Chains A and B, each alone.
Chain A
């Protein structure tokens, strides 16, 4: 069986999509934010792999075709951003200050909490790029001497957290302006959060996309300064 699965081009994608479909149906049925389709599908696939003793590499052999689309999809984020360019120009000061405040908050809060938990330098710099998109985060963690695999895991958990909490947190904190919501989501939780921002609205999605790019660049610079502090 494992031999068949290893050679199957469709197994990984099929179970991922089925799990996502199930997650989407559950979310429709129960309005609770924890019934998040991405979270549910990830947990379901993990459970399947662990209980059926299927190696992650076997699953990924097929599932890599889903990941393959991630670069073209990210490129496409430029389209909604372009369509909202006037709105961005009109509010550029607020948007850029918002993103900058997000980057500084990430770096400062990681610094303070790392000191509190007594983390060493390697553990600390592993966490510094947590809020930016995976590919930039890997580069930053490598450069600063962190655990790259761990950084990837932390970035994904950050993204999932943002994807789950975004609508509820914005409502609770009375962040009502679509521009502010988008900036908040993209600055805190990169592309995985942006997927949720896109569902919330075009403006949210466009501002969140912009925040991925700008916060990524600012973090490259900021993290190299902050890395010297522990």
Chain B
């Protein structure tokens, strides 16, 4: 019963996210509204972590598998990718390396600077 209740809470918030996505004319998906709503509900004390915890942990754990169907859909877009395969391939994969490196470095540099400031105080 506990799991069903938790799943119910999570689905209800997903539904509210869908509703916001329907009402607000911005390119923000239901899942992102839902994430923000869930965070707000937890912060405000409307929900406790224990109301959703186990089911949330389970869903997050199996999340990688949920991307398989969409990724397999790449078979249907191969024909439109092909004419520009090299350009798209280089840009898509190359920039992923670059962006991960830059945002990682910037964050780490700022964290380190903060730590140094603390030790000087």
Residues of A at the B interface (CB closer than 8 Å) are 12, 16-17, 19-20, 37-38, 41-42, 45-46, 49-50, 56, 59-60, 63-64, 66-67, 69-83, 85, 91, 93-95, 97-99, 101-102, 105-106, 109-110, 113-114, 117, 119, 123, 127, 130-131, 133-136, 138-140, 142-143, 147, 149-150, 152-154, 156-163, 165-166, 169-170, 173, 175-177, 179-181, 183-185, 187-189, 191-192, 194-196, 198, 205, 209, 211-213, 216-217, 220
> In the bound complex, how far is the Cα of B69 from the Cα of A75, in angstroms?
19
> In the bound complex, how far is the Cα of B80 from the Cα of A188, in angstroms?
24
The contact string, 1 if C-beta is below 8 Å from chain A, for chain B 64-108, is 111111111111110011001011101111111111111111111
CB <8 Å contact, B107 and A41: no
> In the bound complex, how far is the Cα of B47 from the Cα of A95, in angstroms?
26
Quick one: closest A residue to B88, CB to CB? A154
> In the bound complex, how far is the Cα of B96 from the Cα of A192, in angstroms?
13
> In the bound complex, how far is the Cα of B114 from the Cα of A191, in angstroms?
29
> In the bound complex, how far is the Cα of B100 from the Cα of A219, in angstroms?
16
Partner of A170, one of B69, B86, B104: B104
A75 with B13, Cβ < 8 A, contacts A69-B59, A106-B99, A213-B36 known: yes
CB <8 Å contact, A82 and B32: no
* Nearest chain B CB to A200 CB, angstrom units: 13
| Chain B contact residues, majority secondary structure | helix
CB <8 Å contact, B91 and A127: yes
Number of B interface residues, CB 8 Å? 75
CB <8 Å contact, A79 and B52: yes
- Most A CB within 10 A of own CB, among B18, B36, B95: B95
> In the bound complex, how far is the Cα of B14 from the Cα of A68, in angstroms?
11
CB <8 Å contact, A76 and B38: yes
Residues of B at the A interface (CB closer than 8 Å) are 7, 10-11, 13-14, 17-18, 26-32, 34-39, 42-43, 49, 52-53, 55-57, 59-77, 80-81, 84, 86-88, 90-108, 110-111, 114
> In the bound complex, how far is the Cα of B36 from the Cα of A51, in angstroms?
43
CB <8 Å contact, A79 and B42: yes
Partner of B63, one of A94, A138, A183, A198: A198
CB <8 Å contact, B75 and A101: no
CB <8 Å contact, A20 and B100: no
List, in ascending order, chain B residues with CB within 8 A of A184's CB.
100-101, 103-104, 107
What are the 6 tightest A-B residue pairs by CB atom distance, in nearest-first order?
A139-B27, A135-B29, A98-B107, A184-B104, A102-B103, A94-B110
